[in-house]
């Protein structure tokens, strides 16, 4: 069963703009992770934020986590056409540590 | 390259046949996960292992699905009496022993049941 829900389901922007994707989840977690997937390929890990962290940066990526609202956001700044992909959040459940994914956001960056 | 390999990359089978997929993580991956993904959806959790122990199996998984990790290294996922609804991408991911570590995915096995 899925754990998280990403919003929006699809996002289309121009190169150079910022892209924001949101993730909501249901249970208590140890951490939340964001992944990227290009069509027909496996998922690639982008960033991990622990439950006691509120914000984390990695290059052009910024992730926030609000455990009181059970939500996270992924911001990609200065987007590039190569950022076109599906983005998924995944949560490590607090009790059993298994990793559950949301349905993803399909990002299209137009050159 | 994540170091996780899955074989075969593609499998076409007729309904009712059995299929087996293999996943080879790297030696540091104490945990191993199997997911199923259909077009436009996120990975759906199937099962995961801590070394050779299968710790959890999705309640949505029918009895036709079974997974093993006999020596805590490679893993196999078998589907018996395949149905058309089993057509999907099957993804394997390895993880180091800490749950605060990322998953490393293989490129998946795409199953088509005709």
How far lies B58's CA from each of A1, A30, B67, B68, in Å?
Answer: 7, 20, 12, 15
Spell out the alpha helix ranges (H) of chain B. Answer: none
Cβ <8 Å between A50 and B100: yes
CB neighbour list of residue A68: distance below 8 Å, 6 or more residues apart? none
A71 has which bridge partners? A24, A66
> pLDDT tens digits, residue range A13-46?
999 999 999 999 998 899 999 999 998 888 999 9
CB neighbour list of residue A80: distance below 8 Å, 6 or more residues apart? A15, A109
> pLDDT tens digits, residue range B5-44?
999 999 999 999 999 999 999 888 899 999 999 998 999 9
**Beta carbons of A37 and A46 less than 8 angstroms apart:** no
Nearest chain A Cα distance for residue B73, angstroms: 19
Cβ <8 Å between A98 and B33: yes
Q: Kindly state the greatest CA–CA separation across chain B.
A: 40
> pLDDT tens digits, residue range B91-114?
999 999 777 889 999 999 999 999
User: Taking CA A48 as the corner, what is the angle to CA A45 and CA A51, rounded to the nearest 5 degrees?
Assistant: 150
Q: Kindly state the greatest CA–CA separation across chain A.
A: 44
């Amino acid at each position: 069963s899925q754990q998280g829900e990403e919003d929006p389901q699809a996002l289309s922007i121009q190169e150079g703009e910022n892209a924001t994707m949101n993730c909501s989840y249901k249970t208590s977690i140890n951490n939340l992770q964001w992944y990227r997937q290009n069509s027909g390929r496996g998922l690639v890990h982008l960033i991990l934020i622990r439950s006691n962290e509120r914000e984390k940066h990695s290059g052009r990526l910024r992730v926030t986590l609000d455990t009181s609202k059970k939500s996270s956001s992924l911001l990609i700044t200065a987007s590039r056409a190569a950022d076109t992909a599906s983005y998924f959040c995944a949560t490590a459940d607090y009790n059993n540590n298994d990793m559950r994914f949301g349905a993803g956001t399909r990002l299209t960056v137009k050159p | 390259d994540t170091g996780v390999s899955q074989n075969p990359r593609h499998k076409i089978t007729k309904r009712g046949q059995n299929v087996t997929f293999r996943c080879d993580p790297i030696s540091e991956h104490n945990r191993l996960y199997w997911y199923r993904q259909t077009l436009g959806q996120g990975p759906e959790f199937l099962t995961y292992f801590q070394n050779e122990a299968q710790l959890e199996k999705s309640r949505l998984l029918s009895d036709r699905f079974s997974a093993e990790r006999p020596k805590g290294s490679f893993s196999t996922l078998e589907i018996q009496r395949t149905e058309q609804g089993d057509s999907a991408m099957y993804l394997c991911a390895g993880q180091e022993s800490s749950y605060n570590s990322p998953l490393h995915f293989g490129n998946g096995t795409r199953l088509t049941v005709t």
